[in-house]
Amino acid sequence: MSDPNSACVFCKIFRREIVADEVLRTDDALVFRDLNPKAPVHLLVVPRRHADNLGDFVAMAESREVGDLFALASRAGREFAPGGYRVVVNEGLDGGQTVHHLHLHVLGGRRMSWPPG
Ligand code: AMP
Ligand code: ZN
């Protein structure tokens, strides 16, 4: 347990210690289906590099890495939800974050409502 991220569920998915329904993988990021989907298409776009949340990621990463993550979310959204999609990042308690490794939700396959709950 010397690696501080050894217990992180998304780091485990990267290492394939936990199986996920992967749909896209690049050198720096992974896209897989959410285990508890909130829409017919519910994908998670996850950087390889562990950061607890968006704020930590933008503080530690190159702006190119941040841009690449959004580019991958857009690629996944257009490919898997061609009718349109929503990208969501939850941070902190009020944001509703439950997994503390940055991830972008890509939701689609139905008409989204606004405002979110
Ligand atoms: P958030 O609440 O924004 O932190 O989102 C965490 C998301 O991760 C939730 O939608 C969970 O359903 C999803 N999740 C948690 N564990 C797994 C897993 N092992 N495989 C796929 N999705 C997961
Ligand atoms: Zn992690």
Q: Using an 8 Å Cβ cutoff, are 69 and 87 in contact? A: no
User: What pLDDT shows up at residue 117?
Assistant: 86
Q: Say if pTM beats, i.e. exceeds, 0.85.
A: yes
Mean pLDDT of 16-37: 97
Portion of the chain with pLDDT greater than 90, in percent? 94
- 55 Cα: distance to centroid of ligand 1 (angstroms): 19
Q: Is 45 helix (H, G, I), strand (E, B) or coil?
A: strand
Instruction: Give Cβ neighbours of residue 44 (< 8 Å, ≥ 6 apart).
Output: 10, 31, 32, 33, 34, 103, 104, 105, 106
Amino acid symbol at 115: P
Mean pLDDT of 28-55: 98
* Mean pLDDT (the chain, rounded): 96
Which domains does the chain show, CATH number per domain? 9-96 (3.30.428.10)
User: What pLDDT shows up at residue 5?
Assistant: 82
- 99 Cα: distance to centroid of ligand 2 (angstroms): 9
Q: From atom 15 of ligand 1, which residue's Cα is the shortest distance away?
A: 35
